[in-house]
Amino acid sequence: MDIQLMLSVAMFATVTSGTPGPNNVMLTASGANFGYWRTLPHMFGIVLGILAMNILVAAGLGVIFEQYPMIQQALKIAASTYLVYLAWKIATAKSSKIDGERDAQPMSIMGGALFQFMNPKAWMMVITAIGSFTLAGDSYWTSVLWIAVIFMLMGFPCISLWAAFGTVVGRFLSSPAAWRWFNLVMGLLTAGCLIFIWQ
């Protein structure tokens, strides 16, 4: 890949990773409720999930969606159901900082990675990147590797900012009522990400 194409991939990865979506809303909520360091496994999971998706789509998974629309429709329904479930969990979560909720845990690396396969924005990012920036012929898998690496390098700092933002917000939430309102808003924003699925 030449420098100009790498810069294009980097800009695309930065914009798509840094703008609002299910991952970043959830990271903001996690940062506020659990702090930045405890949210790191969730962030690593997102990066690994996107990496896996890049490889799978490059290997032909995107073509399967095009040839069999019913699979894509089933994924949309499953993703919508899971997103509503996560939105409910976030909206009704109790804060371990205020309520002493010791059972509450941030998302794990595995959970963060697997969620990407239910994340409509992640599919859009990966399918667009592989479809737009890969090179033909012998350079195909080299370009796929570069895309995956660039997404990791640009994506992690972008999503990290959302977790850090949540951590800062969490410092100003000093009452149970404030925490409940915050979690309710984060849950509603997560549910609002259904727009990405059905637009």
CB 96 within 8 A of CB 102: yes
Q: Is 102 exposed, middle or buried (0-12, 13-18, 19+ CB in 10 A)?
A: exposed
Task: Tell me what pLDDT residue 141 has.
Answer: 92
Which portions of the chain are predicted below pLDDT 50? none
- Rounded to whole angstroms, the Cα distance separating 87 from 67 reads 32
- Tell me the HSE value of 96 on the side-chain side, using a 13 A CA sphere: 13
pLDDT in tens, 136-160: 888 999 999 999 999 999 999 999 9
Beta carbons within 8 Å of 127's beta carbon, 6+ residues apart: 57, 62, 65
Task: Tell me what pLDDT residue 78 has.
Answer: 82
- Rounded to whole angstroms, the Cα distance separating 33 from 89 reads 13
Task: Tell me what pLDDT residue 41 has.
Answer: 97
pLDDT in tens, 66-77: 677 787 778 778
Q: pTM higher than 0.75, yes or no?
A: yes
Task: Tell me what pLDDT residue 44 has.
Answer: 97
SS3 letters across the chain: CCHHHHHHHHHHHHHHHHCCCHHHHHHHHHHHHHCHHHHHHHHHHHHHHHHHHHHHHHHHHHHHHHHCHHHHHHHHHHHHHHHHHHHHHHHCCCCCCCCCCCCCCCCCHHHHHHHHHHCHHHHHHHHHHHHHHCCCHHHHHHHHHHHHHHHHHHHHHHHHHHHHHHHHHHHCCCCHHHHHHHHHHHHHHHHHCHHHHHC
Q: Where are the domains of the chain?
A: 3-198
